Amino acid sequence: MPDPVAIIGIGQTQFRATTPGVSYKELMFEAASRAYADAGIDPRRDIDSFVCCSEDLTEGTSIFDEYVPDQLGAVLRPVHTIGGDGIQGLAAAYMQVLTGVFDVVAVEAHSKASNILTPHHVLALALEPGLVRPLGAHPHFVAGLEMSRYLAESGTTREQCATVVAKNRFNALFNDAAAYGADVEVDDILRAAATFAPLTALDTSAPADGAIVVVLASEARAHALGADAVWIRGAGWRSDSAGLDSRSWGTAAYAHLAAQQAYELAGIASPSREIDFAEVDDTFSYKELQHLEALGLFGEGEAGPATEEGLTAIDGDLPVNASGGSLGVGHLGEATGLQKVVEVVRQLRGEAGQRQIEDVEVGLAQSWRGVPTATGAVVVLSRE
Amino acid sequence: MGLRRVAVVGAGMTKFMRRAMETGRELAWQASSMALESCEMTRRDIDCVVLGTAPDTFDGVHMKGEYLADGAGGWQKPVMRGYVGGGTGVFSPIQGWYHVASGLFDTCLVVCEEKMSTCLPHPQAAFLTIFDNMLERPLGPNLIWIFALEMHRYMTVHGVSKRDIALVSVKNKGNALDHPCAQVAQKITVDDVLNSETLVWPVSWLDISPVSDGAVALVLAAEHVAKRVTDKPVWIDGVGWHLDSAYWTNRDLYYPKYVEYAARMAYRMAGITEPRKQIQIAEPYDPFSYKELHHLEGLLLCGKGEAAQMTADGVTQRDGDLPVCPSGGLLGVGNPIAAAGLMKVAEIFWQLRGEAGKRQVPGKPTTGVAQAWGDLMQVGTVTVLRT
Amino acid sequence: MTSEREYPGTPLTDGQLRRGEVLLVEHEPNARYAWDAGVAIGRSLAELKKGRLVGRECYRCRRIVVPPRMFCEQCFRPTDRWVYLKDSGRVNTYSISYLRWDATRVAKPSIPAVIEIDGASKGMGILHLLGGVKPEDVQMGMRVKAVWKPPRQREGSIRDIRYFRPY
């Protein structure tokens, strides 16, 4: 088992549908300032390396890495960007600390989704250019296809998916940072017009803007700083076939394999018993259920019924997306994974206020890079 | 806890071409297969994949790391795409290094691929979008502007002429005649460079590397695996990378501080205290002729302003005291952005193992440095390799 | 690596493409953005519309920086106040460009330059164009002054300055 690596600081901005008064640099500066204050460090002196997560076409700037260092306190420091999501970024920082060469590493991701005027056309650029893109379809068709397949294979119902939406958006009402907290009913969702059947607009998380920074430290440095540490026990990430033609549609294999790696490192043999709560990707309602099963937290076809029975509510046996998930918080692009990590950290620290889950020791955060990818990452965090 | 040693055990590359028939995935597959074959490993032996590829705007594919992963052996593996612009080619093995040195993985396939020809009408147009969206793009800048501004500053501060700088193009394009993958190898003279078309003064046509398609791959392994796989592992003994401020117009461009800082980081790790004495072979990043000089100084292989003289004295020839870009560099072999930097690491790998064929430098070098540069005159990435 | 070995990769020529010997799939991206200028650049653009350049000062390191930013990247703290700068400066470096942004050639070159702005700290330059001067007459270190568009034509853009001219 690898050495434990600590998360010693978290910082974020509010997440909102639009953030017209501030630039992405100003959002990043706010998140970084908060994270470094939380960690009790000065980035000009104490941080050994910085990892940023972004995609050029989401930003509208090529080689976006150019524009990150100043507002993070990272000028003339080791900085690199990954074309990956926040939990992959966390994994990169985790590995750097494990080498023994870097004691403190910061990870950043943000979303300025409101600044993209043609979001679905940009997303369509991620479709394979030779055979898929020429179909001229809105890229969410991929999610519609997958949802159909998942429902058919697992026996999950649309009602169960709608329950996920209702749960998460309600949870978000207790999260000050969330953009889309609301009391929606299952019927509202079932009655909504289909977008990519069986998906409706209400099954789909809406985008939000915001920035998040997380600071990792080696065990020795965390102790030296007297940090209120939460520990990374294991992490995993996987890319299944990018090709729509060669993937299995019903199960989220990337999540299953990524979790396997994380559990092995964390020494977790029985996840459904040993994980107390989870923040899993819910970009679309059905994804929460599909992911819960792939992560081994519920058996095949059982996540839907479990949700209906309230097992994944904040006061349930295995609370899922107490923060509100992307459905309630807003979809933050590559920062989504870090939003989940931050929630897990807050819960483990006992700082989740009205959404606090009782008696938590071990939490899981999981991300998916979204349509049309089959890439996701998992991290297991614990209090001790 | 001691540092876990990581070695390069295999390498492969495609030709560098102005326009390849192969897609980006196919280029990545060709380089990866060759790298695996070279050390008799298969995809099954690979624990993780690091993919390096620069602007998505060239390929016209968003999140292109996802699209390319299959071609790089990434199916159902942990795949991560690092992206530091032109610095990516030397950063990717550093990223591979931390994957293995962390102890989480024993082997890593590092693949860098670039397909620039897809972008019409000319790939260079894509570079408009690297400039600041608010205050620079409206001025309609061309990529070469920043190189020209930097080259002019360098020339002015050190009293170096275009003639002095042209020697780098002559050397590298000539060296590339011995590289089987080279796109623009040719025997030229200093006057050829000075008489070539002025693009953005002081940069002329023969001062710059071309637009290219190509891929390179390396296989990295932890010590216990490396020793099983080959009797000539090349150790990654030092890694360094630094990023300077985005506000490049607030910096004096005559000297690449970020390269120096990255080099110091790598040298410290490798136990190098006198780089000029302890390093026998160097592959600094040479997308433009003057950059080789700029980077030699940043790498502390000579004093500030001294690289031109060092070149004129023949020190950096293949049979000189410190061979520089024996591969032929970007100026001679080509510049498929991310793959170009990895080509330099592959060159050091082959040179240290005595496998560089006609390009082999004499004297059996044991320590080499590869360096790349990227972003907006900002990033230095450095690796020190040793047998 | 031996030089006798055949390396993979199949080069294509422009001719092959023109003659249709190779199949292509074409796509024109529709990627459009409206970036929030934010506090620093928002003010900067508003001031440009009024014919002024503005910077920010950090009280700790005492630098006056341009382009303005709400954070000091050296001290990692918020910057403290707005400072009006002059619209003149000194050429730190320049070049003579015969290429447009899309690599097409032009007969009449443009003169991009980094201009250190008067009123900001030493070395604080911005990217702009020189004009009203022949390329061969430009010198490093030359003093230049902004030539503005007339107020009616200004939009709140860096192009509200037409170019910088020697004086």
Chain B environment of C22 (Cβ under 8 Å):
21
Q: Is B93 on the interface with A (CB under 8 A)?
A: no
Contacts of residue B120 in chain C, CB cutoff 8 Å? 26
> Quick check: is A35 in a domain?
yes
Residue pair A51/A93 in contact by the 8 Å Cβ criterion: yes
- Tell me: do A220 and A238 sit in the same domain: no
- Could you list the residue range(s) of the whole structural domain that residue A64 is in? 5-117+208-230
- Residues A317 and A180 grouped into a single domain: yes
Nearest CA distance, B325 vs chain A (angstrom) = 25
> Which stretch of DSSP H or E encloses residue B219?
strand B213-222
- Residue C22 in contact with partner chain A when CB distance is under 8 A: no
Considering only alpha carbons, which residue of chain A is nearest residue B128?
A: A62
Residue B355 — pLDDT band, cuts 50, 70, 90? very high
| Contacts of residue A320, Cβ cutoff 8 Å, sequence gap at least 6 | A167, A277, A278, A279, A280, A288, A292, A297, A307, A312
User: Do A328 and A266 lie in a common domain?
Assistant: yes
| A123 assigned to some structural domain | no
Of B83, B245, B375, the CB nearest to A70: B245
Inter-chain contact A115–C34, Cβ cutoff 8 Å? yes
Contact B30 C113 (CB under 8 A): no
Q: Which residue has the tokens 């006609």?
A: B358
A384 lies in some domain: no
Q: How far is A43 from chain C (nearest CA, A)?
A: 8
Pair A77, A100 in one domain: yes
pLDDT at C4: 52
B-to-C residue pairs, Cβ atoms closer than 8 angstroms:
164
**Count: domains in chain A:** 2
The domains of chain C are located at 38-166
pLDDT (tens digit per residue) in B157-199: 999 999 999 999 999 999 999 999 999 999 999 999 999 999 9
Residue-averaged pLDDT of chain B: 97
Assess whether A278 and A352 both reside in one domain. yes
Q: Which chain B residues contact residue C17 at CB under 8 A? A: 19
C140–B19 CB contact, under 8 Å: no
* A324 and A263 in a common domain: yes
Question: Residue C27 is nearest to which of A60, A112, A129, comparing CB atoms?
Answer: A129
Looking at the complex, report in whole angstroms how far the Cα of residue C28 sits from the nearest Cα belonging to chain A: 10
Average pLDDT, chain A: 97
Nearest to B66 by CA among A239, C114, A378: A239
Nearest to C80 by CA among C69, C91, C90, C66: C69
Strands A49-53 and A79-82: parallel
Neighbours of chain A (3+ CB pairs under 8 A): B, C
Same domain, A225 and A296: no
Domains observed in chain B:
6-120+210-386 (3.40.47.10)
Nearest 5°: CA angle at B197, between B194 and B198?
80
**Domain annotation covers residue A179:** yes
Task: Tell me, yes or no, whether A27 lies in a domain.
Answer: yes
Mean pLDDT score, B41-48: 97
In which band, very low, low, confident or very high, does the pLDDT at A300 lie, cut at 50, 70 and 90?
very high
Q: In this predicted model, what pLDDT tens digit does every residue of A127-149 receive, in sequence order?
A: 999 999 999 999 999 999 999 99
Q: pTM for this one?
A: 0.98
Which of A230, A264, A290 is the C-terminal boundary of a domain?
A230
Angle at A4 between CA A3 and CA A5, to 5 degrees: 115
A314 Cα to chain C: minimum distance (Å): 36
Report the residue from C37, C95, C101 with minimal CB separation from B152.
C95
Instruction: Judge whether B241 is closer than 8 Å to chain A, CB to CB.
Output: yes
Q: CB pairs below 8 Å between A and C: how many?
A: 83
Q: How far is B357 from chain C (nearest CA, A)?
A: 5
**Is residue A36 a part of any domain in this protein?**
yes
**Which of C31, C38, C39 shows the shortest C-beta gap to A121?**
C31
Q: How far is CA B156 from CA A329, A371, B313, in A?
A: 54, 51, 21
**Block mean pLDDT (10 aa), chain C, length 167:** 74 91 92 98 98 98 98 98 98 97 94 98 98 97 98 98 97
- Please indicate, yes or no, whether residues A244 and A264 belong to a single structural domain of this protein: yes
What CATH number has the domain bearing residue A359?
3.40.47.10
Tell which residue, B247, A240, A222, B199, has the closest CA to residue C74: B247
The reply to whether B240 touches chain A by the CB within 8 Å rule is: yes
* B189-244: pLDDT as tens digits: 999 999 999 999 999 999 999 999 999 999 999 999 999 999 999 999 999 999 99
Q: Are residues A258 and A225 in the same domain?
A: no
In whole angstroms, how far apart are CA B274 and each of A75, B3, B387?
A: 26, 22, 18
Quickly list DSSP for A216-285: EEEHHHHHHHT---EEEEEEEEEE--S-GGGS-SSS-HHHHHHHHHHHHHHT-S-HHHH--EEE---SBH
Distance from CA of B237 to the nearest CA of C (A): 22
Contact: A79, B242; criterion CB under 8 Å = yes
Mean pLDDT, residues B313-326 taken together = 98
Q: Which of C47, C114, C149 would best serve as a mutation to test chain B binding (most B beta carbons within 10 A)?
A: C114
Contact A65 B379 (CB under 8 A): yes
Block residue for tokens 């024996």 = B326
In this structure, are strands C105-117 and C96-99 parallel, antiparallel, or unpaired? Answer: antiparallel
Subunits in contact with chain B (3 or more CB pairs closer than 8 Å):
A, C
* A221 and A347 assigned to the same domain: no
> What pLDDT digit, counting tens, does each position of B277-302 carry?
999 999 999 999 999 999 999 999 99
Identify whether residues A108 and A164 lie together within a single domain: no
* Confidence at residue B2, expressed as pLDDT on a 0 to 100 scale: 59
- Our CA-based measurement puts residue A175 at a distance from the nearest CA of chain C, in whole angstroms, of 25
Which residues of A touch chain C, with CB atoms under 8 Å apart?
Answer: 19-26, 29, 36, 42-44, 57, 60, 69-71, 73, 75, 112, 114-118, 121-122, 125, 129-130, 133-134
Tell me what pLDDT residue B1 has.
39
Verify that A184 and A239 share a domain, yes or no.
yes
- Give the pLDDT mean for B33-44: 97
pLDDT at B18 over 70: yes
Structure tokens given for B225: 């695996």
How far A275 CA lies from chain C's nearest CA (Å)?
A: 38
Predicted ipTM? 0.97
Is residue A352 in a domain? yes
